[in-house]
Structure 1
Amino acid sequence: MIRVCALSELDDRKPFATEVEDTSIVLVRNGERVHALADECSHAAVSLSEGEVSRKGIECWLHGSCFDLETGKPSSLPATEPVDVYAVDIRDGDVFVDVTVTTN
């Protein structure tokens, strides 16, 4: 696991783009939980971190595909393939991500 940031650096339900071991990821804080997903829409290969977070997940700004924060699965078209979701651990107020472990 690699330390990415302090939990306090993440705004609730606002995408946070970062890179972990040459992998672009987007972090989304939801209360005390943090989700880490690949920062690339599986449909159009654009950055998900530029989109918005809704109750359904993170929405791609280009065509509106929405991805579940827990599973990475798309809940709306045009995307049909999931994005990778990575293991996250919060320790002592810091956010750690392991990009070698996907949970989908």
Structure 2
Amino acid sequence: MPDDNPRTPVRVCTDADLAEGQAVTVPTDITGWSDAVAVFRYNGTLYALDDTCPHEQASLAEGWIENGEIECPLHQSRFSLRTGEVACDPATRNARTHRVEVRDGGIWLTAGAQPLAG
């Protein structure tokens, strides 16, 4: 059963440290979450998903970003960065999303919290 209790926000990096089209992985010992969390910047917007692909043991942060989706590097399943919704086989389960935002020049992640509207 997934853990639905939001964690305390953690500072991931400075806003300038995460380039467009890139991702950073935040380990479980930092987030307190059951999986590492991948934070992405795409078209100037930040997104956060559980880093482990729901289909296989692969890091989504190591995948390819295109058209608002992240493609798993192992079996090419794609997931919406905004909603985590699976876009194609072989994955059948959505990726978990998390709240990520810029505050005081830093990127802050709240694992387990719903993303902010926008």
Match of 2:85 in 1: 73
State the Cα distance separating 1:45 from its structure 2 match: 2.3
Choose from 73, 85, 98 the match for 2:97. 85
Equivalent-residue separation in structure 2 for 1:37 and 1:100 (angstroms): 10
Question: Which blocks of at least 5 consecutive residues in structure 2 are unaligned?
Answer: 1-8
* SS in structure 2 at match of 1:100: coil
Report deviation, 1:28. Answer: 0.7
Q: For residue 16 of structure 2, what is the aligned residue in structure 1?
A: 8
- Residues 99/17 of structure 1: CA separation in 2 closer, same or farther (3 Å cut): same
Return the offset for 1:63: 0.5
Asked if structure 1 preserves the Cα contact closer than 8 Å seen for 2:42 and 2:68, the reply is: no
Which letter does structure 2 place at the counterpart of 1:65? S
Gaps of 5+ in 1: none
Instruction: Work out whether residues 71 and 77 of structure 2, in 8 Å CA contact, stay in contact via their aligned partners in 1.
Output: yes
The equivalent position to 2:57 in structure 1, one of 45, 50, 75, is: 45
The 8 Å contact of residues 13 and 107 in structure 2, kept in 1 or not, is answered as: yes
The percentage of aligned residue pairs carrying the same residue is: 30
Runs of 4+ that moved beyond 4 A: none
1:50-86 superposed Cα distances (whole Å, 9 cap, x missing partner) = 1111114110011100110010011111011111100
After alignment, is 12-21 or 89-98 more displaced? 12-21
1:12-56 deviation line (CA, Å, top 9, x unaligned):
112221222254011111243210110010111211111111114
Taking structure 1 as the reference length, the TM-score comes to 0.89
Q: CA RMSD in A?
A: 1.5
Give the number of equivalent residue pairs.
103
Whole-angstrom distance in 2 between the partners of 1:56 and 1:101: 21
Q: How many angstroms does 1:93 deviate by? A: 1.6
